[in-house]
Structure 1
Amino acid sequence: MGDISRRGILGLGMGAAAAVGISGCGSAKGWESTGGSGSGKSSGKSEGRKAEPIGDGSTARTGPQPHQPKPERLEPGQKPPQFVVFSWDGAGDIGDGLFPRFRKLAKDYGASMTFFLSGLYLVPESKRSLYRPPNNPAGASDIGFLSDENIRRTLKSVRSAWLDGHEIGTHFNGHFCAGSGSVAHWTPAQWKSEIEQAVSFVTKWRTNTGFKDLEPLPFDYRKELVGARTPCLLGQDNLLPTARKLGWRYDASSPGGLQVWPGKKKGIWDFPLQQIPFPGRSFEVLSMDYNLMANQSQNATQSDPAKYPAWQRQARDAYVAGFERAYGSNRAPLFIGNHFESWNGGIYMRAVEEAFKHIADEKRKDVRVVSFRQYADWLDAQDPRVLRKLRGLGVGQRPPGGWKAYLSAS
């Protein structure tokens, strides 16, 4: 598998980010569309949806989320769809056009996304003392607070994203990755406190900001929140007991996973970042933009522009190689992590956009680019015996005797 010291570099989660998944690209059995993202184009307004305010009116119940596909159980011997999840950490809109750009890309391809929202992105810096991070001083954060203007942008973008059919997860709050205050050292009780604060910041933004002219977020976040990614992919072991008590469905914090069908940890679906081929290198790389950058420019966010075109091709080809390997073999899902950042001239944004278009090509009727939540829905709808068979296939391994024979035996 190559050099673990390079392959295992973790994303630091600088800036804003979102988690992407396309619901219902194609029409193969096993993923029946019930008004998928491509069947209706939301403007961000809840036309015809009655809003029942919750608490201070920061959020509201507006009924079932639009544009959600209905998972179907595989028939005996049926080849599984190829699932792909594009995910983004942070989910803040700072006016650089990246959040709207990728929402539009997903909409153009009938896509859904998962946005791992950082709770502090809805808290004015003047109110930073409201945050009491475990093992850190009150008001501390290793990511910056947003301006009032960008908080407003983020609220509008998150609202529109949910109405488009995308998932809103959490990236927690202060993003502590180093020292004694790192999330790596937090206890289950401390994770509980961090989660409660993240939920509070989302459900009390109206009180904390004083904004009176914005519509509420159109969902009950305490029910909507079913999964997360931790800062720097640290602390999962102590997070999971708390996540299970809260009824969460999955966690996307594992580093260094393989392109195989996932299982559960402590009762929670484990959706790791994965090792994918790294063209031109002798080792594999984690499927996240930060890790590509770490290997290409040694973490420098603005490096040698002469190298940008080659690095962009390499990043794009890494994502495509991971997809093609799974698509032509075990059909394991591909999980890709990203940040809304313009590192190295924005090459990683262009690379993931190009890979997205390759993967979501309408000619591939059996590809499903979905959110983590939608993928968990599909897994939960399957025969456990079929899932055990799927988990028995290694990286790049085709089913012995073909799909019909391999899964009919289940």
Structure 2
Amino acid sequence: MSGMSRRSLLTTTAGVAAGVAVAGCGTGKGGRGAERTGEPSGASGAHAPAKTVTLIGDGSTAHTGDQPNQPAVDRLEPGQTPPQFVIFSWDGAGEVGNGLFPRFRKLAADHGVSMTFFLSGLYLLPEDKKLEYAPPNSPLGASDIGYLADDHLRMTLDNVRQAWQEGHEIGTHFNGHFCTGAGSVGRWTPADWKSEIDQAKTFVTTWKTQTGWHEEDPLPFDYETELIGGRTPCLLGQNQWLPTASALGFRYDASSPGGNQVWPSKKMGVWDLPLQLIPFPGHTFEVLSMDYNMLANQSHAATSSDPRNYPYWREQAAQSYIAGFERAYQTNRAPFYIGNHFEEWNGGIYMDAVEDAFKYIAAAGHDDVRMVSFRQFVDWLDAQDPAVLDRLRTLEVGQAPSQGWKDFMTAPAPVPAETAPSAAAVA
């Protein structure tokens, strides 16, 4: 891609409108001998010198050294225009034979960039072992997403292995994805979330015990150190999850719905990186930057609609992502987060739309655009002068510095105005 190297990207180193905040997961149910899914890329580490592999636990995961293809972390200099970060993320991250996981791994590899894959723990638990899962406030083995057939579980393992070697982040999407009813994740307590994340980690780190596939290659990372963030099912329960996330040392959370395109801050010591409201062509309201929310507004959440609508809906979704990118890039340079699922809703138009938007951003050839994972982004955030981040947070949605970036980034740090206690605080 002209003008877009890994270094320049990473180390330039209303009705059903905005109110729709539910995130659906599109993964259905599906032996040894399942073929590999996705060709290893040149960035995958497949041809790198052999590494020392130290198995962890039952050998489901392993220490293999530092993750390949990670950017150096730089620090903004006085007067420097901040880069434009763009983070593509995927909820569930299961491969069910439709080729979507390898499709987007290849897209990333072709452009030398990284993404975040939020792995659902249940996708590494065989269905005949489903009673090992004890979801809060629901029966043993219950789940609102399907367990994977064995061949799909193998495909998922293969893609997760290669994704990590290619430099992508493996986060968590937890387990059973309960959106409604008494068992909804929105009702869970911090203790419930602790149980859920402990189980998600267990399913990832003991898949060999659960499947009996002891001769298979391990996942090439220590999940206890790899896992630093996630997205809750349905974008629900963040306030109850964050105390647990903070106590466990998680560094970010990508669960909050309805965020604005502004520079992020922390909640309970955890970076809050929400899905964002972005322009929605043809409407006066904005839409969340996720495929499900496009679907909800276009076909009222129906996943198979009149195909005559598909070309317009695809273009509308792609242009929405592009408008969100351009608004940030041309104004406050707020990081832009895009969330999706490996799904085939409405003829697969949302997968095509996000690929169209990705290619638009890549083809623009901006040296100051970095397409990274959430982990890489928070590494960068944590390396910055907090006063500089405070200054960036003063810029509103669509607001460029009136005096230009150079002067804005060399101005004295803003001094927060003293405010009187609110009535609620006094009470």
Q: With the length of structure 1 as denominator, give the TM-score of the two structures.
A: 0.92
Amino acid corresponding to residue 315 of structure 1 in structure 2: A
Q: 1:365 aligns to what SS in structure 2?
A: coil
Tell me, yes or no, if the aligned pair for 1:226 and 1:249 is still in contact at 8 Å: yes
| Counterpart residue number, 2:223 | 221
Matched, 1:196 2:207: no
Between 41-50 and 343-352, the greater mean CA deviation after superposition? 41-50
Identity %: 65
Matched, 1:13 2:15: no
Question: 1:271 offset after TM fit, Å?
Answer: 0.2
| Counterpart residue number, 1:268 | 270
| Counterpart residue number, 1:252 | 254
Matched, 1:352 2:361: no
Equivalence map 1:87-126=2 (5 Å): 87-126=89-128
Tell me, yes or no, if the aligned pair for 1:170 and 1:225 is still in contact at 8 Å: yes
Question: 1:270 offset after TM fit, Å?
Answer: 0.2
Candidates 367, 392, 402, aligned match of 2:394: 392
Q: 2:118 aligns to what SS in structure 1?
A: strand
Tell me, yes or no, if the aligned pair for 2:43 and 2:69 is still in contact at 8 Å: no
User: Aligned pair in 2 of structure 1 residues 396, 194: CA closer, same or farther (>3 Å)?
Assistant: same
| Counterpart residue number, 2:159 | 157
Q: 2:220 aligns to what SS in structure 1?
A: coil
User: Aligned pair in 2 of structure 1 residues 341, 5: CA closer, same or farther (>3 Å)?
Assistant: closer
CA distances 1:45-72 after superposition (whole Å, capped 9, x unpaired): 8751111000000000001111110111
| Counterpart residue number, 1:139 | 141
Candidates 215, 225, 231, aligned match of 2:233: 231
Distance 1:5 1:95 in 2: 32
| Counterpart residue number, 2:280 | 278
Q: 2:230 aligns to what SS in structure 1?
A: coil
Misfit runs of 4+, over 3 Å: 43-47
Q: 1:368 aligns to what SS in structure 2?
A: strand
| Counterpart residue number, 1:211 | 213
Distance 1:45 1:143 in 2: 36
Candidates 339, 361, 365, aligned match of 2:363: 361
Question: 1:254 offset after TM fit, Å?
Answer: 0.3
| Counterpart residue number, 1:23 | none
Distance 1:332 1:63 in 2: 33
Amino acid corresponding to residue 63 of structure 1 in structure 2: G
Amino acid corresponding to residue 110 of structure 1 in structure 2: G
Distance 1:222 1:43 in 2: 22
Distance 1:49 1:395 in 2: 46
Tell me, yes or no, if the aligned pair for 2:23 and 2:293 is still in contact at 8 Å: no
Amino acid corresponding to residue 140 of structure 2 in structure 1: A
User: Aligned pair in 2 of structure 1 residues 131, 239: CA closer, same or farther (>3 Å)?
Assistant: same
| Aligned CA-pair RMSD | 1.4
Q: 2:240 aligns to what SS in structure 1?
A: helix
CA distances 1:341-395 after superposition (whole Å, capped 9, x unpaired): 0100000000000100111226211100110010000111111111001000000
CA distances 1:182-235 after superposition (whole Å, capped 9, x unpaired): 000111111000000000000000000111332000000011100010011000
Tell me, yes or no, if the aligned pair for 2:227 and 2:250 is still in contact at 8 Å: yes
Tell me, yes or no, if the aligned pair for 1:13 and 1:90 is still in contact at 8 Å: no
User: Aligned pair in 2 of structure 1 residues 12, 398: CA closer, same or farther (>3 Å)?
Assistant: closer
Question: 1:12 offset after TM fit, Å?
Answer: 3.3
Candidates 301, 306, 309, aligned match of 1:307: 309
Q: With the length of structure 2 as denominator, give the TM-score of the two structures.
A: 0.89
Candidates 59, 62, 74, aligned match of 1:60: 62
Q: 1:217 aligns to what SS in structure 2?
A: coil
Q: 1:290 aligns to what SS in structure 2?
A: helix
- Is there any run of 5+ residues in structure 1 with no aligned partner, and where? 18-38
Question: 1:7 offset after TM fit, Å?
Answer: 1.1
Tell me, yes or no, if the aligned pair for 1:71 and 1:381 is still in contact at 8 Å: yes
Candidates 176, 179, 187, aligned match of 1:177: 179
Q: 2:224 aligns to what SS in structure 1?
A: helix
Tell me, yes or no, if the aligned pair for 2:172 and 2:227 is still in contact at 8 Å: yes
User: Aligned pair in 2 of structure 1 residues 245, 45: CA closer, same or farther (>3 Å)?
Assistant: farther
Distance 1:193 1:13 in 2: 22
Tell me, yes or no, if the aligned pair for 1:302 and 1:343 is still in contact at 8 Å: yes
Q: 2:264 aligns to what SS in structure 1?
A: coil
User: Aligned pair in 2 of structure 1 residues 250, 16: CA closer, same or farther (>3 Å)?
Assistant: farther
| Counterpart residue number, 1:322 | 324
Matched, 1:378 2:389: no
| Counterpart residue number, 2:85 | 83
| Counterpart residue number, 2:405 | 403
The structure that has the greater radius of gyration is: 2
| Counterpart residue number, 2:7 | none
Question: 1:276 offset after TM fit, Å?
Answer: 0.2
Distance 1:227 1:13 in 2: 19
Amino acid corresponding to residue 94 of structure 1 in structure 2: V
